[in-house]
Structure 1
Amino acid sequence: MHSGTMDFQESSPSTAKTSKWFYDGPPVIRPDAREVLEKCSKIPSEEVDTHVAAVREKAWSIHPYPCIGGWRFLEFSNSENTAYPEVLKRMRTGEQVYLDLGCAFAQDVRRLVADGVDSRQIYGSDLRLEFIDLGYELFRDRETLRTRFIDADIFNAESDLKDLVGKVDIIGASSFFHLFSWDEQIKIARQVLRLLKPIPGSLLIGRQIGHREANEEPRGEGAGSRFRHSLESWRRFWKEAGDEAGVEMQVDGKETAITERMPMPLPEAFIVLEFAVRRV
């Protein structure tokens, strides 16, 4: 799962509710999420909390991601991106294609649909189909959502994502790149550039956990490493990826203090990095 929320994993993930990543008490549902659940999913207001809590129970039993324990799987992160008005304007023309990469519950897909985008123009992909299924359960739209979800490993060039090579106008990839090492991220960037249309204006948006002093650090579970970007290193990263592909990529973004976004205490050096990467 690579959700549209920010993901920290503890060293030995546990489904126990005593985990430091499991937040007890009433669901934390922001007004925009509650609005979608009530108006679009047609869930009675008095049932929303119970419904969301039941879905979280199932998700936590599959894998105890911190974003699940902390209710952050309900955040529409890409709608907060400064490029989102442009995304909506382009998608509402009915002529563009959007891919939610590492979509998990695909809450950002539902936000786009709630904002007037035809779900047939949207694709979602993830390695864990269980979370895509839970997304249908969460938003109660299995019979109405026309988005195609693809079970795919981004590192496999022969996955079903190959059907979208050169056809995507906009990719959303929140809490995705930060799960991997620099070298792995370069491989992902190659795939992103293959998927995007080879024209100026093709766009990647998202947000991720970063670090004021960009660094590579071991994964908590002890397998491989993760590279945490600063805005400066993110620009350098796309310069390298673009040069390799023979294209110029313009990177806009901003850093936000992690304490403004995360309920759990984290070192001040961690940041939230919002970005829009555009082919020039």
Structure 2
Amino acid sequence: MASPKPLSNQVINWTGFVHKPGDAPWFHPKPNLPWPARQLLEEYSGIHPQNIHDQVLNIRNRAWDAFPFPCIGSFEFLDFQLSQRNLLYPRLLQRLQAGGKFLDIGCCLGHDIRKLVFDGVPGENLTGVELRKEFIELGYELFRDRDRLEAKMYQGDVQLGNSEQPWKELGGQFDVVNLGMILHSFAREGQIVCIEKAIGSLKNQVGTSIIGTACGAAEGEECFWHGNIPSHNTETFRALVKDLEERTGTKWEVDAKVDSSISLWNPKHTWLDPRVRGLAFEMTRLE
């Protein structure tokens, strides 16, 4: 299959859809928190069980005011999608507990980083980068760990050049980079830039990994999330990686799967296009 022609770095402007919370079908009035979220907030953050609902709602509403992403409106920043990857997550924990370095690009409120710490990863092995500084600050408030979290948190735009901060500082340091739910915010060229940024952040050696999730596509061709924003199935994602290999001179083993974790059958996603699915991927460097 021929690779689709690159598009611009166009990004979804969610504010164009939302004038107030009630206008957005992805804005949920109350949290429905799974046990892993409640456990983390009780045992890591030290929030009394009776206060968790109000704490989460307060933080969500302030994060929504900062920017109305669907993952904010539907409380998906407490779904811990990374730890739900049952085959990958135990391997990731073992690697990071043994000293591997992890970078989470687009870390939102830093929820996956806190879950990794709670599950036994030393905080000094973890780094997060988030476009919106408000989300970083709200993460410290939500998890009540400003004075004890050893992970480093940076504000940064993934579309900036490698000579810009924080990318200049972070280049070549990491064993694993996570691109969690950000690829589908960009047109195809912007998606390639995201993965190039991940490659530039990794150690220059065989065996380093890029992992991630995104809104994918059920069909055997690209469908479009909004305008020129493609959602991939396994075939089109592999085509994206092939183009990336040619641009970077690297080679990658790709494990990509499409499932119904993101779909209109999920109560949080009833507003989605029926073609949309969840895409989970793992890329391991071969050359």
Q: TM-score, normalised by structure 2?
A: 0.87
Q: Aligned partner of 2:20: which letter?
A: T
Deviations 1:9-63 (A, max 9, x none): 4742223335322212x31111101100000101111111111111112112222
Kindly indicate whether residue 201 of structure 2 is the aligned counterpart of residue 172 of structure 1: no
Letter in 2 for 1:215: E
**What is the deviation of 1:181?**
0.8
* Residue 48 (structure 2) pairs with residue 48 (structure 1): no
Residues 64 and 72 in structure 2, CA contact (< 8 A), matched pair in contact too: yes
Deviation readout 1:221-240 (Å, 9 max, x if unpaired): xxxx3121111111121122
- Give the corresponding residue for 2:88: 83
- 2:39 is the alignment partner of 1:15: no
Alignment check: 8 A CA contact 2:15 2:68 kept = no
Question: What runs of 5+ residues in structure 2 fail to find an aligned partner?
Answer: 1-11
Q: CA deviation at 1:219?
A: 3.8
In structure 2, the residue matched to 1:61 is: 65
Residues 217 and 171 (structure 1), Cα distance of their counterparts in 2 relative to 1, 3 Å cut = same
Contact 1:125 1:151 (8 Å CA) reproduced? yes
Alignment correspondent of 2:256: 253
Name 1:96's counterpart in structure 2. 100
- Paired with 1:23 and 1:198, the residues of 2 have a C-alpha distance of 43
Secondary structure at 1:77 match in 2: coil
After TM superposition, list the pairs within 5 Å mapping 1:1-280 onto structure 2: 9=14, 11-24=16-29, 26-81=30-85, 82-93=87-98, 95-156=99-160, 157=162, 158-213=164-219, 214-215=221-222, 217=224, 219=226, 225-257=228-260, 258-265=263-270, 266-280=272-286
**How far did 1:97 drift?**
0.9
Aligned-pair CA distance for 1:256: 1.0
When the two chains are superposed, the root-mean-square deviation of aligned CA atoms in Å is 1.9
Q: Equivalents in 1 of 2:283, 2:159: separation in Å?
A: 20
| TM superposition shift of 1:8 | 9.8
Q: Give the match's secondary structure for 1:205.
A: strand
Q: CA offsets per residue over residues 106-130 of structure 1, 9 Å max, x none?
A: 1000110011011111110011000
Match of 2:6 in 1: none
**Other structure's SS at 1:99 match:** strand
Task: Specify the SS of the correspondent of 1:100.
Answer: strand
Query: Equivalents in 1 of 2:122, 2:166: separation in Å?
Result: 22
Question: Structure 1 residues 154, 19: CA separation in 2 closer, same or farther (over 3 Å shift)?
Answer: closer
1-structure distance, mates of 2:177, 2:267: 25
> May I ask how many residue pairs the two structures share in their alignment?
268
Letter in 2 for 1:198: N
Pair 256,218 (structure 1): closer, same or farther in 2 beyond 3 Å: closer
Alpha-carbon separation, structure 1, partners of 2:146 and 2:236: 40
Give the deviation of 1:218 after TM superposition: 7.3
Query: Secondary structure, in 3 states, of the residue corresponding to 1:132?
Result: helix
Q: d(CA) in 2 for partners of 1:207 and 1:234?
A: 12
SS of the residue aligned with 2:259?
strand
Contact persistence 1:173–1:204 (CA under 8 A): yes
Q: CA separation in 2, counterparts of 1:215 and 1:121?
A: 36
Range with greater deviation from structure 2 (158-167 or 202-211): 158-167
Structure 2 CA distance for partners of 1:119 and 1:45, relative to 1, 3 Å: same
Supply the AA of the counterpart residue of 2:82: N
Q: Distance in 2 between matches of 1:91 and 1:22?
A: 35
Partner of 2:108: helix, strand, or coil?
Answer: coil
Q: Report percent identity of matched pairs.
A: 31
For residues 206-256 of structure 1, what are the alpha-carbon distances to aligned partners after superposition, in whole Å with 9 as ceiling and x for unaligned? 111011234364746xxxx31211111111211221232222111112211
**Paired amino acid for 1:173:** L
Report the AA paired with residue 21 of structure 1. W
Change (3 A) 1:8 1:88: farther
